[in-house]
Chain A
């Protein structure tokens, strides 16, 4: 019930709360956590130990930062600054992964 209460309190402070909104947010929260763990599981194809470490990290991160979805949503609003920030971060990650990854791995 703790997760429910945390999301309830957070949403209630910002929006007129309804049953469907609460359900949708809890659904999104669970979807996010499960999906992140599944993505971490994929790393077992590279290294099982790496996958285990990532899963533990994600679990600790999600438990200590719950509820994730309101923070997640605020990072993906229509602000041009945030969009530009993530676009440049993504460009950096792709180039790092492909350029240096391809040359030195």
Chain B
């Protein structure tokens, strides 16, 4: 069963290539993508925990220093990887389902990009090799850019191009940081690098090590859409088709936590490293939510909120204690679910009404009551209202920052949550509760049943994880215990 590990990358990658190959055969495309979308989360659930060494090169023991070296590209599959791969697989299934049911003729190239992104994000979370991480990260970026460029939203090409241009700064800086680490330690295996750093082979005050940390941190900000990349990241979310935006944000969250965990393992030895992570996260929270408050386009509003929520994850990871990192990872899981719910829900309105400016909308609760109620719940989840999962993870984060001696951060997290709630009150009132403007014509298009189904599934997750957070937090805590 352990041999299933590479299949989690190979299956979506092979599917992506086949979808591109058979892009003219509509029925085949639909069948293939639907079946593979079911198989991917199933593999993650059924696969046994373990390690896979590509090429069969098993780790070698240095008898002098009694250290283990990893010559092969290593994929590690633990409960942490299982949770996130299964979740993103399920989300991909829902997104593919919404896409297949909304369009009579589907695009093989678009589906190719979705599965390519899925394969890349799975590899990113599985790999213990920092260069392999970088390669799949660049593939992921290309897939995201392609998804945005393939959408039918105004100015999508411009946004995709801007993201590529900014990526031409962020990506190479990340690679330069990785090459500095390779120069220092002679390895690209993350475990080997971490051992070299913590055993004193590499000095934490060496110039090259500090520069590597700075460059990888900058690459992390680019990968995560943290400031100064928050504007372009929110632009990417708002210019993608809403169901695709739900998937793109999950890719961003997972690449953020994957790179953050790598940095924690390698750079935690630098005394003020945690402060920088917390600083970045606090700025992301403030900028994301304050910008969301001032937007008129509901897609951009949710996009900025998604960026702001990333700050909560970074807060947990930056505080660096066992409990705080567990809270941060739990928040990541909750953000993937709640933001996907909101993107899909608002996508229904954008698709059926054809208007995204909230000042031109109103009275939609009469036309879309199910969507409105599910969106309201989604907003409550994101704002951290009990008894949903968002409340549980944010409470854990507040407790973690208090126990670390940072009451200011607890206060900041609470204020940002209140502001998030304010954003939802505004958007919900403007779209659904205020009287319908006279010039607004609501077309009598049926609401996509698959989108409603996807929202119900995601909302069920929010309720279950809110009432029984221990199902996930106990497993994440076990994984985090192995990091320290």
Contact = CB atoms under 8 A, between A and B. Distances in A.
B218 A90 contact: yes
A78 B294 contact: no
Given A20-B430, A99-B210, A34 B415 contact: yes
Interface residues of B, number: 56
A24 B210 contact: no
Given A83-B228, A91-B173, A94-B218, A72 B290 contact: yes
A21 interface: yes
Nearest to A68: B290
Contacts, number: 133
Interface stretch (B51-59, B118-126, B281-289): B281-289
Contacts of B358: 20
Interface in A63-86: 69, 72-73, 76-78, 80, 83-84, 86
Q: In this complex, which of A18, A69, A87 has the most chain B Cβ atoms within 10 angstroms of its Cβ?
A: A87
Interface string B208-250: 0011011101100100000111111001000000000000000
A94 B228 contact: no
Given A27-B293, A35-B415, A87-B169, A103 B207 contact: yes
A2 to B, nearest CB: 20
Interface in A1-58: 16, 18, 20-21, 23-25, 27-28, 31-32, 34-36, 38-39, 41-42, 45
A73 B294 contact: yes
A100 to B, nearest CB: 9
B411 A78 contact: no
B412 A94 contact: no
A35 B286 contact: yes
B166 A84 contact: yes
A27 to B, nearest CB: 5
A32 B162 contact: no
B359 interface: yes
Interface of A: 16, 18, 20-21, 23-25, 27-28, 31-32, 34-36, 38-39, 41-42, 45, 69, 72-73, 76-78, 80, 83-84, 86-91, 94-95, 97-99, 101-103, 105
Interface of B: 159, 162, 165-166, 169-170, 173, 204-205, 207, 210-211, 213-215, 217-218, 221, 227-232, 235, 270, 272, 276, 279, 282-283, 285-287, 289-291, 293-294, 296, 358-359, 405-406, 408-409, 411-412, 415-416, 419, 422-423, 426, 429-430
